[in-house]
């Protein structure tokens, strides 16, 4: 009499339970890993809206108490400043109809970015606004904060009668150039900037 193989004695419906493939639980572990990856992706996506905006961020008008962190971020942009200097500069950015400073604030990390936008009447063109500075903390970049800050600046400009928005970016800031292009800006001119101390 022939002995039956062990595999032939295992009911076939075991293979169909919970996505199992064999009797050693290998498929279960594969399934668990797949679910863990899916959950991780969903958790990451849950932080942003369909428009790519981080729902955990608030875009607010800057206040004097934000000066220390604005100064830290200014250093990352390449323009060192102390909290005292930044507080004085914030107070000097007037009138509100000509300038706005917005900050991106995270519940966990506080102020992680800022943008300064201004408008001024020009003879050579219709009223337009300019991004004078925009920076996001190094560890927070490419997560949507910059786009939200830029959108806030553009909304402010539209409400103040501006027909366009300009931004100047150092030729070495390749990553910044790509950011602005992704957000609808086009490179239309390369120029030299001149400065004189007074």
Say yes or no to pLDDT of 39 above 80.
no
Tell me what the pLDDT averaged over the chain comes to: 81
Judge residue 38's burial from the number of C-beta atoms within 10 Å of its C-beta, 0-12 exposed, 13-18 middle, 19 or more buried.
exposed
Q: What percent of the chain has pLDDT over 90?
A: 60
pLDDT digits (tens, 9 = 90+) for 135-186: 999 999 989 999 999 999 999 999 999 999 999 999 999 999 999 999 999 9
Please check the confidence at residue 51 and state whether its pLDDT lies above 50. no
**Predicted pLDDT at 32:** 59
> Contact at 8 Å (CB) between 192 and 159?
no
Cβ atoms 57, 144 nearer than 8 A: yes
The C-alpha atoms of residue 99 and residue 118 are separated, in whole angstroms, by 4
pLDDT digit string, tens, across residues 86-117:
999 999 998 888 999 999 999 999 999 999 99
pLDDT digits (tens, 9 = 90+) for 184-197: 999 999 988 899 99
What's the pLDDT at 30?
Answer: 54
What average pLDDT does the segment 121-143 reach?
92
Per-domain residue ranges for the chain?
Answer: 57-182
CATH number for the domain whose boundaries are 57-182 = 3.40.630.30
pTM beyond cutoff 0.85: no
């Amino acid at each position: 009499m022939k002995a039956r193989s062990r595999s032939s004695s295992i009911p076939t419906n075991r293979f169909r339970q919970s996505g199992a493939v064999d009797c050693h639980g290998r498929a279960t572990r594969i399934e668990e890993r797949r679910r863990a990856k899916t959950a991780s992706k969903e958790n990451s996506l849950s932080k942003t809206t369909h428009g790519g905006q981080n729902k955990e961020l608030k875009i607010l008008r800057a206040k004097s108490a934000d000066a220390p962190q604005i100064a830290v971020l200014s250093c990352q942009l390449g323009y060192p400043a102390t909290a005292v200097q930044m507080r004085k500069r914030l107070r000097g950015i007037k009138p509100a109809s000509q300038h706005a400073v917005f900050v991106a604030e995270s519940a966990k990390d506080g102020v992680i970015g800022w943008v300064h936008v201004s408008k001024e009447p020009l003879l050579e063109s219709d009223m337009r606004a300019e991004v004078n500075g925009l920076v996001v903390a190094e560890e927070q970049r490419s997560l949507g904060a910059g786009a939200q800050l830029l959108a806030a600046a553009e909304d402010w400009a539209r409400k103040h009668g501006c027909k366009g928005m300009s931004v100047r970016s150092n030729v070495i800031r390749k990553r910044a150039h790509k950011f602005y292009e992704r957000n609808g800006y086009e490179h239309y001119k390369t120029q030299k900037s001149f400065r004189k101390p007074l």
